Amino acid sequence: MDQSVPADLLEIAEALVPGAPLGSARLAEHGNLHHVVLFPGVAAVRVSKRPDTAAEMPRRVGILRAVAAAGLPFAVPEPLSSVTMFGEHAAVAISWIDGEPLPEGVGDPAAFGMLLEALRDVELSPDLAAVLRTPRRYADGLGWADILSAEIIPLLPARWRDGVRHSLDTLLALDEVPAGLVHGDLGGGNVHFGADGSLTGVLDWDLAIRSDPAIDAALVGSWHGWDVLRAAADEQTYRRARAWNDVVGVEHLHAVFSNEPLASVDGFVSSVVAWLEARE
C-alpha cells in the first residue's frame, strides 16, 4: 500500500522532477535500499536509505541506461535526471512504467516465455557488461558456492543439511551455459501488465547480474507458478530453473551473488529455514 510522502523526501522529489503534481505524490512500500516517491503517470524518484546504497546508485543507474538501450520489447525505467546528492542521500528520477503486477501464482505462459526469451537474447554491450556483476562459484571463500557450503549449510537444522547439500551438488554438476543478462528479481511487483493482459514493462533492475538465464526462469516459477514456467520455457531451462531454486530458494541467492561476505549470516539462515519449513 502506498503512503503519504514525508516533507524531506517530497522536497528531493520536487527538485528532481520540476513541475511534478505534488498533490499526487505517494511513497511506495519498498525494500531496504531506497525510498521511492511516486508521481503516477509521470515519474518515480528513488532516494537511498543508507550510505552503501548511495554509493551504489551510479552503477545501478548505469544498468538502467544500458538496459534501456538494449531494445527490449517492453518498457524499462530510464533515468530522467543525473544521480544527485542531498546530504548523505543519493537520488535519481526515473521514467514511469504503466501497468500493474500480477498476484502470486498467476501468469500467462506466453507473456513470460517472451520475457525470458527477450532477456536471454540481449547482447551484452560494453556499457552493459561494465556495470553488471558476475557472481562466481568460487572466489577465495566468497563465491556463492563457497558461502552456501561452508557458512550456510552447517548452520541449518540437521534434518535439512544433507538434502540442501545434495541440491547444491546437483546444481554445481550442471554444465555451465553462456552468461547473459539476468534481471534477478522477477517476482512480486516488478513485472507489469496492461488491462489487456500484455506485458508493459519490467521495473527494479537493482539486482541485475551477468549469469545463467535460468535464474530468471526460476524466479518466474517460484512466484508465478512452476506450471506457468513449464509451459513458458523449454525443458532444459525448466530443469535448470528447478535446480537453482531447490538449493535454498532462488529469491535468497542475490545475497550470496556479490562475491562479498554476507551482511547477516544468521538472518540468511533464518530466511532459508523459513523457506524449507514452508516446503514441508
Question: Where along the chain do its domains lie?
Answer: 7-95, 109-279
What are residue 230's phi and psi, to 5 degrees? -60, -35
pLDDT score of 2? 54
- CATH for 109-279 is 3.90.1200.10
pLDDT score of 77? 97
CA–CA dist 136, 139 (Å, integer): 6
Environment class of 155 (CB within 10 Å of its CB; exposed 0-12, middle 13-18, buried 19+): middle
pLDDT score of 1? 45
pLDDT score of 4? 85
CATH of 7-95, one of 3.30.200.20, 3.30.70.1060, 3.30.70.1730, 3.40.50.720: 3.30.200.20
What are residue 103's phi and psi, to 5 degrees? -65, 160
pLDDT score of 216? 98
pLDDT score of 237? 97
pLDDT tens, residue order, the chain (280 aa): 457 899 999 999 999 999 999 999 999 976 678 999 999 999 999 999 999 999 999 999 999 999 999 999 999 999 999 999 999 999 999 999 999 999 999 999 999 999 999 999 999 999 999 999 999 999 999 999 999 999 999 999 999 999 999 999 999 999 999 999 999 999 878 999 999 999 999 999 999 999 999 999 999 999 999 999 999 999 999 999 999 999 999 999 999 999 999 999 999 999 999 999 999 8
**What residues form DSSP beta bridges with 100?**
193
pTM for this structure?
0.95
